[in-house]
Structure 1
Amino acid sequence: MAKECVKSPLLVSIQWRGNGGKMDIPSKPHPGCPCPRKSTVPHPPSTDKNKWQNPATKATYKIEKILFNKRILGDVKKLSPLYQTSALEGFHSLILRFAPKNVAFSYLVMLCRLYLAAFHFNENSGRSQARTAAGELRFQIKFPKAKRGGHVVSMVKTKYTTEYVSELMDLLFNKVIHDPGTFAAELRAVAVPGFLCSQYERPEKADAIARHVSRFSCPGGVGAAPALGGPTSDCAADVPVTDREEGRIITH
């Protein structure tokens, strides 16, 4: 249903609401949508009354309560009409293997690691399902924590390849080593952005310490940090040096 309208999430939500009653309604064309839509449902209506929802039953009320939930309707508007995000999420997970978050990398090193992750993903994203020696498709059973003891069946893909590594090694030994100046010049030409903190004016350390006011500096905790460019609080001068210990203010 989400694929029937590419440009209008609101119309997708309206059709979702219409399908909630009998789960099968005619699909009428509307202006502004480039996708071809038929004037009738793609399959003939069922003659079996058991397959239709009776709007006067308690079961239908419960289904409508779930389908017409505000969060569900908000998610329906965001459904991807063409592509799914599972591949993008898989790429983000792969980036963590090449560039873990608990390690700090410089800009160029991070850029190179992202390139390696892209090479690996592009080479292995379209792997097919593996087969046994007898030619049967391979599956595996998993027990996700969210299933609370239940299992899911997923296919086993063929083993990943690293042919891009051979190509990079061939480039390194056959071209880079013989003429490193060309590649070094291209590397120096990369525009490396500055640190985020370099975008702001750095104050003098002595001035910053003099303007610093903690809520533990005043008896009763009324001290507050002064506004930028405003006067400092008087309570900071009343208490010379303060320390915090078990919620009490101790003066030295």
Structure 2
Amino acid sequence: MYWCAASSNGNGEMVLQKWQSILNHVANIHHGHGDQFQECQHGPLEERAWIKQGSMAHDELKSVVNGRMLVKDIKKLSPGQQTSGLEAFHKVVCHFAPKMVHFFHSQMNARLYLAALHFNENSSREQAVDKNGTPMYSISYPKGRKGEGIAKEVKVNYYIKFISEYVDQLMEEVLLHRQVHQTYSQARIYRNLERARPGPLSTSTPRRPKQDIIENQICCFNRL
């Protein structure tokens, strides 16, 4: 599915035809898929057991490939941008600002800045190599693969090579402010932190009088 989207340059109909060509490919039919995608792009294939068209296995696969919602949505797949990076960033945010802990606006703002700094500093780490210069991989065994291993690149250790860069800059900034401003209150006024702080969400709409709320509650119970 990823290849279908990445190789179609945003052409939704092409994405769909490539996806539906699976039904022909597994039956050893590699031509005549559609008007835009007429043949498979792979090279010669070795002998294998193919799925016969009209068989129960092929019909089951067909019901999945041609699922109504899937066929509708697959045309909208992004050709280049995926959500894995965003999901990785959200994981970093949850590390700096856990959802089970309450933070005020200024605290949350600072923690989001830290998460962004940390992610930007470490999201493009190079693959680690061993002493012989060979790229390193780790093997994981997801439940959905039924024991089949997946190779994942081992990245360089960011605690050693990367994390100190932005942390050192932050510490230098803290020490500089400590020398210029003798107290936290002075530094707070200098940074004008109160200016950007929004009011509570509950104040964004006008409040009904207390008596009206009570009377409405009583009427609701009387109707029951």
- Tell me if structure 2 keeps the 8 A contact 1:26–1:41: no
SS in 2 for 1:213: helix
The equivalent residue for 1:177 is 178
The equivalent residue for 2:167 is 165
The equivalent residue for 1:79 is 77
**What one-letter code is carried by the residue in structure 1 that aligns with 2:120?**
N
User: What is the percent sequence identity of the aligned residues?
Assistant: 30
- Matches of residues 137-148 of structure 1 in structure 2 within 5 Å? 137-144=135-142
The offset of 1:65, in angstroms, is: 2.4
The offset of 1:179, in angstroms, is: 4.2
The equivalent residue for 1:238 is none
The offset of 1:81, in angstroms, is: 0.8
The equivalent residue for 1:200 is 205
SS in 2 for 1:154: strand
- Tell me if structure 1 keeps the 8 A contact 2:33–2:39: yes
**What one-letter code is carried by the residue in structure 2 that aligns with 1:197?**
S
The offset of 1:157, in angstroms, is: 2.1
Cα RMSD over matched residues? 3.8
The offset of 1:131, in angstroms, is: 3.3
The offset of 1:133, in angstroms, is: 4.1
More helix by share: 2
Q: Which moved more, 1:154-163 or 1:5-14?
A: 5-14
Unaligned runs of 5+ in 2: none
| 1:156 matched to 2:157 | no
The equivalent residue for 1:227 is none
Distance in 2 (CA, whole Å) between partners of 1:143 and 1:123 is 29
The offset of 1:195, in angstroms, is: 2.2
Deviation sequence 1:212-244 (CA, Å, 0-9, x none):
1376x45xxx42xxxxxxxxxxxxxxxxxxxxx
The offset of 1:107, in angstroms, is: 1.9
**What one-letter code is carried by the residue in structure 2 that aligns with 1:164?**
Y
TM-score, L = length of structure 1: 0.64
Distance in 1 (CA, whole Å) between partners of 2:192 and 2:142 is 45
SS in 2 for 1:212: helix
Distance in 1 (CA, whole Å) between partners of 2:92 and 2:73 is 26
The equivalent residue for 2:5 is 2
- Tell me if structure 1 keeps the 8 A contact 2:140–2:152: yes
Instruction: Report which structure shows greater RCO (CA 8 Å, sep ≥6).
Output: 2
Which of 40, 53, 63 is the equivalent residue of 1:65?
63
Unaligned runs of 5+ in 1: 31-37, 224-252
